[in-house]
Amino acid sequence: MKARLEALCKKSIAECSYEEIYRALMTIVKEESKAREKAVKGRKLYYISAEFLIGKLLSNNLINLGIYDEVDGLLKESGKSLAELEEIEPEPSLGNGGLGRLAACFLDSLATLDLPGDGVGLMYHCGLFRQNFRNHCQNETPDYWLDGAQWAEDTGKTYEVSLAGKEYEARLYRLDVTGYDGRTNKLNLFDLDTVDEGIISEGIQFDKTEIDKNLTLFLYPDDSDDEGRKLRIYQQYLMVSAGAQMILEECEKRGCKLHDLADYAAIQINDTHPSMVIPELIRLLGEKGIAFEEAAEIVTKTCAYTNHTILAEALEKWPESYLEEVVPQLMPVIRKLDEAVKEKTDREDLAIIDKGHLVHMANMDIHFTHSTNGVAALHTEILKESELNQFYQLYPEKFNNKTNGITFRRWLLSCNHELTEYIESLIGPGFKKDASELKKLAAYGDDQKVLKRLMEIKTANKKKFSDWLFKKQGVALKPDSIFSIQSKRLHEYKRQQLNLLYLIHQYFEIKNGHLPAAPITAVFGAKAAPAYITAKNIIHALLTLSKVVEKDPEVSKWIQIVLVENYNVTAAEKMIPACDLSEQISLASKEASGTGNMKFMLNGAVTLGTMDGANVEIADCVGGENIYIFGQSSRQVIRLYEKGDYCAREWYETDPNLRRAVDFIDGELMLSEGDEGSLRSLKNELVGKDWFQTFPDFNAYVVRKNQAVTDYAVNPEKWAKMALLNISGAGYFSSDRTIAEYNEDIWHLGETEEVSGI
């Protein structure tokens, strides 16, 4: 390895700059990955997704290729460190949140399990915006992550895509996805050569009509106007049309007669963003001489759909007129699909095109795929019993659950070396390939030596995170305080505002001499969608409160509030190992699964959460005594919505503690630091609406969180044991398990199946 590196750099490692070492290692990784490519037999998966939140690639690839320790040692010998080397790698900006990170974990697990499965998506030039804070507000700037050496390679292949009647060339870029001791699969990303970062001005503004220049600039461009919404359709179609052509081409190369497409390809549609792949495939099969009915059947057998939300606003519905303008070639197909449905049933809520001429993408997915899955047990139950009940009645056999998972390579082995090593010293290395072996850790639940060491590792990780944050943001943290962390997209349903209310409540308690059992460090990581005003107001309130607290020496002894700027995978890798209390406080029924919750538990944090999404299964795995659950149940929440008589103002008027906290938001102190309009409007939103029912859960949250803080402070052995049992109970949440289930129930990769009935 040493010789290879030095040959590439043409000098000794000690003499190389980090940039030179990085490029040389990239070359070596690419060569090693190539050696693990395998021919595909039978069915291959294509996971189509608008997001792939893959994170930095170097270290993860070194781990998966089994050469991390060797490289680490070599660098150390020359007075260099892998940790510093990692700093120079830009994080790919190809995703936003859980859905994108899930796609990345899935690619890792597919390759690790030696299953043939590629990703298909878009090569965004700036992806998701970069976040910074100014005047206690979120600002957005473009993230030019493509500058510098690239993992993705230009394949030289292009596909013609017709958008609004004009022809464009989609160029295919490819990057390797190598599994842990596994094969190499590919992530396929499309782009247009004509896209021009030069048209970006004033933050992340650009001309939305110049499609050839703007098409792949940003992920989720602002859709608050018609042009923005159409741009989303342009993007989606570029992805699915180029993707569908690539899939058909690959299958035909492997000898597939397109009548047998389902024997060669399984296509997983990640939420509704890639849904147009259904009519696009039918259209392409039609061009190759396959009649509509058969084409629709083939596509139904090939495709499967994953639902990630029950929030109505995230279930895409496009006006027929937009589709007619951007993808006129698809409309005849979509109308035929709609007619086929209408022949079967006249229920309006099952239609693809509704009376208001909106095309319901999720409806098309459920009718014309063979599988619809939710992403956690509770979520799937809610889909079957309420949100999609009409579909469940029609196609009970299509519905199934696939509880999400995370790859332990990135979220333990790579981000928490100390803990990994220590676990290995206790139970051996088997857990790295078979996560269920983590269970063996439970045997150490009463071993004081082990518990003590576990807490030492946690403290070391808190220090590391604190040092990193100090370098980045100039903020110093107290490692002996309890680190409560809420990191996830900023959204009202996730209820960062409930955490805000708790912190204000604590402010008053401290002022009144009721001190918490331990000092609390409340850490947030969250980006708000640029057009989502309430989300931005919540960020503003948190930043303002952070300043108010900081300025008050009496309170700042006990509470510190920190928002990590530009929260992304890299930041998460620092934050998660440092967490004591994992905040998973969404309104029950609203968080489909959550995956951060799994990452935190795996790294020895204890969850404070509602019975929502995968929290329910986490509680199952660790037992009720090792998790802090609070709040209304999903049943209660759903009933309250059905009755429609939730009145936030009543809660506000009858609960003095709550009222005190809410009034503080636009009280004198906050106004002395923050913006009146923004703070007022947040308060009004809460008192006048509180659509995600923070008020009914407020008291339970305060009580439960204080209980956790007290346990942490007065009963450290109990806390350490809970942490240990959380790690040992995390095995179920490996994405290897999830992918094995998808494969078993939906994909059957690498097998050929007799085609019948077509």
At position 393, the amino acid (one-letter code) is Q
* Binding-site string for ligand 26Y from residue 43 to residue 82, where x marks contact by CB under 6 A and - marks none: ----------------------------------------
Q: Which candidate, 684, 694, 707, 704, places its Cα nearest to that of 658? A: 694
**Part of the chain binding ligand 26Y (CB under 6 A), chosen from 96-104, 360-368, 546-554, 660-668:** 96-104
Shortest separation between residue 565's beta carbon and ligand 26Y, angstroms: 21
Using the structure block, give the residue that is written with the tokens 């696939």.
402
Sign of CA dihedral 283, 287, 292, 294: negative
Determine if 284 is a binding residue for ligand 26Y (CB under 6 A): no
At position 652, the amino acid (one-letter code) is Y
Contact 87, 17 (CB under 8 A): no
Burial label for 336, CB within 10 Å (0-12, 13-18, 19+), is: middle
Determine if 610 is a binding residue for ligand 26Y (CB under 6 A): no
Catalytic residue (one of 229, 384, 453, 599): 599
Nearer residue to ligand 26Y within complex by CB, 398 or 590: 590
Considering only residues 358 through 377, tell me which ones interact with ligand 26Y, judged by CB under 6 A: 375
Catalytic residue (one of 112, 534, 595, 738): 595
Nearer residue to ligand 26Y within complex by CB, 99 or 469: 99
Specify whether 355 is catalytic.
no
Determine if 314 is a binding residue for ligand 26Y (CB under 6 A): yes
User: Cα 108–113–115 angle (5° rounding)?
Assistant: 90
Considering only residues 385 through 404, tell me which ones interact with ligand 26Y, judged by CB under 6 A: 404
Nearer residue to ligand 26Y within complex by CB, 484 or 584: 584
Q: Which candidate, 454, 426, 443, places its Cα nearest to that of 603? A: 454
Structure tokens of 679? 């703070």
Q: Which residues contact 620 (CB under 8 A, 6 or more apart)?
A: none
Nearer residue to ligand 26Y within complex by CB, 102 or 170: 102
Nearer residue to ligand 26Y within complex by CB, 546 or 593: 593
Shortest separation between residue 717's beta carbon and ligand 26Y, angstroms: 33
Distance, in Å, from the CA atom of 183 to the CA atom of 116, rounded to the nearest integer, reads 8
Nearer residue to ligand 26Y within complex by CB, 223 or 673: 223
Q: Which candidate, 250, 290, 276, 366, places its Cα nearest to that of 329? A: 276
Shortest separation between residue 104's beta carbon and ligand 26Y, angstroms: 11
* Binding-site string for ligand 26Y from residue 418 to residue 447, where x marks contact by CB under 6 A and - marks none: ------------------------------
Q: Give DSSP secondary structure letters for 453-484.
A: HHHHHHHHHHHHHHHHHHHHH-----TTSEEE
For residue 522, the cross-strand partners are 484, 561
Specify whether 370 is catalytic.
no
Shortest separation between residue 171's beta carbon and ligand 26Y, angstroms: 24
Please state the φ and ψ torsions of residue 352, each to the nearest 5 degrees.
Answer: -80, -45
Specify whether 308 is catalytic.
yes
> Which residue is nearest to ligand 26Y, using beta carbons?
98
**Part of the chain binding ligand 26Y (CB under 6 A), chosen from 156-164, 329-337, 564-572, 587-595:** 587-595
Catalytic residue (one of 136, 186, 301, 308): 308
Contact 206, 240 (CB under 8 A): no
* Binding-site string for ligand 26Y from residue 520 to residue 539, where x marks contact by CB under 6 A and - marks none: --------------------
Nearer residue to ligand 26Y within complex by CB, 372 or 521: 372
Shortest separation between residue 452's beta carbon and ligand 26Y, angstroms: 34
Q: Which of 365, 591, 666, 736 binds ligand 26Y (CB under 6 A)?
A: 591
Q: Which of 28, 74, 102, 246 binds ligand 26Y (CB under 6 A)?
A: 102
Shortest separation between residue 111's beta carbon and ligand 26Y, angstroms: 19
Distance, in Å, from the CA atom of 709 to the CA atom of 241, rounded to the nearest integer, reads 52
Task: Give SS3 for 118.
Answer: strand
Distance, in Å, from the CA atom of 218 to the CA atom of 222, rounded to the nearest integer, reads 9
For residue 499, the cross-strand partners are none
Determine if 97 is a binding residue for ligand 26Y (CB under 6 A): yes
Nearer residue to ligand 26Y within complex by CB, 373 or 461: 373
395: left (phi over 0), alpha (psi -120 to 50) or beta: beta
Structure tokens of 423? 């676990």
Distance, in Å, from the CA atom of 68 to the CA atom of 3, rounded to the nearest integer, reads 16
Distance, in Å, from the CA atom of 565 to the CA atom of 129, rounded to the nearest integer, reads 12
Catalytic residue (one of 36, 367, 417, 488): 488
For 522, the enclosing helix (H) or strand (E) is strand 520-525
Determine if 590 is a binding residue for ligand 26Y (CB under 6 A): no
Q: Which of 130, 186, 308, 453 binds ligand 26Y (CB under 6 A)?
A: 308
Nearer residue to ligand 26Y within complex by CB, 98 or 731: 98
**548-555 long-range Cβ contacts below 8 angstroms, 24+ apart:** 548/507, 548/669, 548/670, 548/672, 548/673, 549/503, 549/507, 552/507, 554/510, 554/511, 555/507, 555/510, 555/511
Nearer residue to ligand 26Y within complex by CB, 142 or 594: 594
Q: Which of 129, 190, 220, 408 binds ligand 26Y (CB under 6 A)?
A: 220
Nearer residue to ligand 26Y within complex by CB, 362 or 581: 362
For residue 353, the cross-strand partners are 359
Nearer residue to ligand 26Y within complex by CB, 380 or 593: 593
Shortest separation between residue 72's beta carbon and ligand 26Y, angstroms: 32
Determine if 309 is a binding residue for ligand 26Y (CB under 6 A): yes
Contact 237, 230 (CB under 8 A): no
**Part of the chain binding ligand 26Y (CB under 6 A), chosen from 325-333, 565-573, 589-597, 688-696:** 589-597
Residues in contact with ligand 26Y, total (CB under 6 A)?
Answer: 18
Determine if 743 is a binding residue for ligand 26Y (CB under 6 A): no
Shortest separation between residue 620's beta carbon and ligand 26Y, angstroms: 17
Nearer residue to ligand 26Y within complex by CB, 97 or 179: 97
Catalytic residue (one of 36, 458, 494, 590): 494
**Part of the chain binding ligand 26Y (CB under 6 A), chosen from 233-241, 274-282, 306-314, 348-356:** 306-314
Distance, in Å, from the CA atom of 511 to the CA atom of 698, rounded to the nearest integer, reads 20
Catalytic residue (one of 101, 183, 489, 491): 489
Distance, in Å, from the CA atom of 110 to the CA atom of 328, rounded to the nearest integer, reads 36
Contact 590, 692 (CB under 8 A): yes
For residue 218, the cross-strand partners are 127
Q: Which of 214, 546, 570, 593 binds ligand 26Y (CB under 6 A)?
A: 593
Could you give the residue ranges of the DSSP H alpha helices within 486-591?
496-511, 533-550, 553-556, 569-575
Q: How many CB atoms lie within 10 A of CB 685?
A: 19
Determine if 490 is a binding residue for ligand 26Y (CB under 6 A): no
Q: How many CB atoms lie within 10 A of CB 689?
A: 14
For 636, the enclosing helix (H) or strand (E) is helix 634-643
Rounded (10°) CA dihedral 258, 262, 264, 265? 110
Determine if 617 is a binding residue for ligand 26Y (CB under 6 A): no
For 317, the enclosing helix (H) or strand (E) is strand 317-319
Structure tokens of 701? 């949250």
Shortest separation between residue 210's beta carbon and ligand 26Y, angstroms: 21
Going by the DSSP 8-state scheme, the letter that residue 290 receives in this structure is -
**Part of the chain binding ligand 26Y (CB under 6 A), chosen from 98-106, 418-426, 504-512, 664-672:** 98-106
Q: Which of 22, 58, 64, 98 binds ligand 26Y (CB under 6 A)?
A: 98
Specify whether 599 is catalytic.
yes
Determine if 594 is a binding residue for ligand 26Y (CB under 6 A): yes
Specify whether 488 is catalytic.
yes
For residue 560, the cross-strand partners are 521
Q: Which of 5, 163, 549, 592 binds ligand 26Y (CB under 6 A)?
A: 592
What does the binding site for ligand 26Y look like in residue numbers (CB under 6 A)?
A: 96-99, 102, 220, 271, 308-309, 314, 375, 404, 591-595, 613
Q: Catalytic site residues? A: 308, 488-489, 494, 595, 599
